[in-house]
A and B are shown apart, each in its own frame.
Chain A
Amino acid sequence: MAPTRKNLLGLGAWTLLMALTPHLLTNDYYVSTLIIGFFNAIIVVGLNMLMGYAGQISLGHGAFYGLGAYVSGILAATYGVPVEAAGLIAIIATGLIAWGIGIPTLKLSGHYLAMATLGFGVIVSIVFNEAVETTGGPSGLTGIPRLTLFGITMESDLSYYYVTGLALTLVMALSLNLIQSRLGRALRALHTSERAAEAVGVDIARYKLFVFVLSAVFAALAGVLYAHYLGFAAPSSFGFHFSVTLLVMVVLGGMASVWGAVAGALFLTALPEFLRAFENIETVLFGGILILGMMFLPSGLAGGTAKLTRALLGRFRVGARRV
């Protein structure tokens, strides 16, 4: 099948690029920026499946990221649970929470869904801030041990880079597989017409819940990786502001494209590093991207470029025919 081959080629090229990049970079600092970018990309690929493919908005995914980070961090730092087990428990627990909250939430649509997910995110954020004895409160949870896999602790940034890069590649591969399947078609179908999807036997509530939980699990995975990388988790990293940043990444990357999601996440993670000189301009810029993106490029950078190419080619072809 042609699309499959394209995906395989794409993933191959991506893996190669990902593996080589650290050796091309001159500054170790860039490696740590890329690691953070990978965390974000893992979340955004999932969120993009929820929003871009299935058409269900969430303004609360920062909370799932935070739940992954805090649950794993608390288990490992406070209770001395081995990191692998703590991470696994955190991901499963977050998935279960998403499942529980998703059942009533996904019955809503449009503004109601947006506000309900937003409300959920704010509540979780308040708990992170106020449950001081467990979470460390506003100043954060400290002393989270570094990630250990199969007895090897990922001490160096380079090893962490490869672990995270591998996780992202896996998430991308799974998502690409999912999209071109019965499940992916069902998700895209219910995006356009819930009634027509039901008419051919698609249980829309189940599929919405599935993609919601999947995206929460991806976010939790990113959260676990985050906590055991920085050794620290503070509520401000997982609040409303971060949920909106995720939204900007999805929009910029173009709804409904896995590659776009990764590009959007990496670009927006790196951007503030370049904007250091004008520290506070980031907020204005994000607002501008959201508005302009939705007004002029609803299919994002990836889609916009594709559309432009098609338009140019189309003009060329028409021109050729006329000649």
Chain B
Amino acid sequence: MSSLLAMRGVTVRFGGVVALAEVDLDVALGSITSIIGPNGAGKTTLLGVASGMVQAAAGAVSFLDRDVSAAPAHARGAAGMVRTFQNLEVFSNMTVLENVMTGCHRHVGYGVVDCLLRTGRFRREERRCREHALKRLDFVGLADKAESRAGDLPYGLQRRMEIARAIAADPTLLLLDEPAAGLNTRETQALGELITAIRESQGVTIVLVEHDMDLVMRISDAVMVLKEGRNLAVGPPEAVQKDPEVIKAYLGEDDED
């Protein structure tokens, strides 16, 4: 099995804090790979390094068998690696539809001149982009909110919209950072189904950072456990669940709680 995303020896420091120390990650094509770990373990940072938004002190990232360690964030996005954010990053002054149409950015094929002059190509491409975005909105169940201002949506729907924006890019790899944060049990259940559906119907490979263990164990093919910036365990969910180190780490966390 070839890895779609491979990270090797990734180390990140913030001032004195070592957020990641020599972390490796392999994401198999077509899989749902989850990253779990206590708060501050470095999960978001790892996604940041993958997507090019956090500078690594050492290590390499390869995507689609190409070394992208030096590629800027937008180039990785344009190459099909798209992420969402733990703290929502919604384009609040645009409509929901426009948010999702922005997600289509990498697919819309016209230049400045087409757009300044509104050529036939512009109109064709724009109509295609709009229809595509509406389809994605429908997919996440937000079709009726297309014309609302994104900033006015309730929190849970903003999360869904962010997912719609990400999959509007037709990504090869989708990185989701705690998509269930702030959702209630029912919403989380629905989110699980949505994530599986994204994989099934669009063949998108998914990396999921999540605290909700039920969700993770239910839908993941592989789970990676991070603790204090180190790779604690990796493997299929059942194996990871039984790993004594992991149990200790999580029980340890429970004790503190």
Contact = CB atoms under 8 A, between A and B. Distances in A.
A196 B73 contact: no
A198 B89 contact: no
Given A183-B115, A201-B74, A196 B89 contact: yes
Interface of B: 51-53, 72-75, 77-79, 82-85, 89-94, 98, 101-106, 108, 110, 112, 115-118, 122, 126, 129-130, 165-166, 168-169
A203 B112 CA distance: 14
B102 A189 contact: yes
A177 interface: yes
A174 B118 CA distance: 9
A1 B101 CA distance: 15
Given A192-B92, A193-B89, A182 B74 contact: no
B91 A199 contact: no
Given A181-B126, A182-B115, A203-B75, 20 more contacts: A1-B130, A174-B116, A177-B118, A189-B102, A195-B53, A197-B102, A198-B52, A198-B53, A199-B82, A199-B83, A199-B85, A199-B89, A200-B102, A200-B103, A200-B166, A200-B168, A201-B105, A202-B74, A202-B105, A204-B74
Nearest to A7: B118
B5 to A, nearest CB: 15
List the 9 closest A-B pairs by CB distance, nearest first: A201-B78, A201-B77, A196-B89, A181-B115, A201-B106, A198-B73, A193-B89, A198-B74, A182-B108
B74 A196 contact: no
A200 B85 CA distance: 12
A196 B115 contact: no
Interface string A288-303: 0000000000000000
Given A186-B105, A195-B89, A181 B122 contact: yes
A177 B102 contact: no
A199 B115 contact: no
B83 A185 contact: no
Determine chain B's interface SS by DSSP, over half rule: helix
B106 A200 contact: yes
A210 interface: yes
A146 interface: no
A221 to B, nearest CB: 14
17 contacts: A177-B116, A178-B116, A182-B104, A182-B110, A183-B115, A185-B98, A188-B91, A188-B94, A192-B89, A195-B89, A196-B85, A196-B165, A199-B84, A200-B106, A200-B166, A201-B105, A210-B112
B115 A193 contact: no
Contacts of B92: 192
Contacts of A174: 116
Contact of A203 (B74, B85, B102, B116): B74
B51 A192 contact: no
Contacts of B108: 182
Contacts of A188: 91, 93-94, 98
Nearest to A174: B116
Nearest to B73: A198
A323 B79 CA distance: 56
Nearest to A256: B93
Nearest to B169: A200
Interface centre among B74, B79, B85, B122 (most CB of A within 10 A): B74
B204 to A, nearest CB: 14
A191 B110 contact: no
B48 to A, nearest CB: 9
A85 B149 CA distance: 46
